[in-house]
């Protein structure tokens, strides 16, 4: 997992999003594939609103989750697993079983990355709109966690 800021460089990980505790109940946990991303995005938005996020922060959280799900579909084997829980923050974890990627090389951005035929801006964009983001990736898959602070925290 990549963590910690580089001076003068926007840090896409800005701290690690917490992991769900074993005894903590998820608000949403489901496998997904390409045709299910839109419906899940709506559900994440409903959970964000129910958790008390205002429209702007809720939309930002949904955008970050959507980008991670889209990457799982496009680069991680066609789908994955998404979990959403609340723990003083609203947290989403998106995992896939794809080939993984070099997190350090793909998330060390002094400026937004250049788009390419295979993408390029999704993780950067997600990192800009959520409060924390962490990425773990290896040959058995990728896990992206994003969080949004809840009002009054």
Per-residue pLDDT tens over the stretch 79-91: 999 999 998 899 9
Confidence of residue 153 (pLDDT cuts 50, 70, 90): low
Q: Tell how far CA 78 is from the center of its chain.
A: 16
Per-residue pLDDT tens over the stretch 122-149: 888 899 999 999 999 999 999 999 999 9
Q: Which residues of 1-29 are buried (b: 16+ CB within 10 A; e: fewer)?
A: ebeeeeeeeebbbbebbbebeeeeeebee
pLDDT at 117: 76
Side-chain half-sphere CA neighbours of 97 within 13 A = 7
Specify the higher pLDDT residue, 63 or 12. Answer: 63
Mean pLDDT on 92-110: 86
In angstroms, the CA 49 to CA 43 distance is 10
pLDDT at 123: 87
User: What does the chain come to in residues?
Assistant: 153
In angstroms, the CA 73 to CA 108 distance is 23
In angstroms, the CA 138 to CA 97 distance is 9
């Amino acid at each position: 997992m990549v963590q910690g800021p580089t001076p003068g460089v926007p840090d896409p990980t800005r701290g690690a999003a917490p992991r769900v505790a074993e005894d903590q109940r998820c608000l949403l946990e489901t496998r997904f594939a390409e045709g299910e991303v839109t419906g899940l995005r709506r559900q994440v938005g409903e959970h964000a609103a129910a958790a008390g996020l205002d429209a702007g922060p809720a939309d930002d959280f949904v955008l970050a989750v959507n980008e991670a799900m889209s990457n799982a579909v496009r680069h991680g084997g066609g789908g994955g697993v998404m979990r959403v829980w609340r723990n003083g923050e609203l947290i989403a974890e998106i995992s896939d079983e794809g080939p993984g990627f070099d997190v350090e090389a793909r998330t060390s951005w002094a400026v937004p990355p250049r788009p390419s035929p295979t993408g390029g801006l999704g993780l950067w964009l997600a990192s800009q709109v959520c409060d924390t983001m962490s990425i773990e990736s290896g040959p058995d898959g990728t896990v992206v966690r994003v969080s949004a602070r809840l009002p009054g925290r």
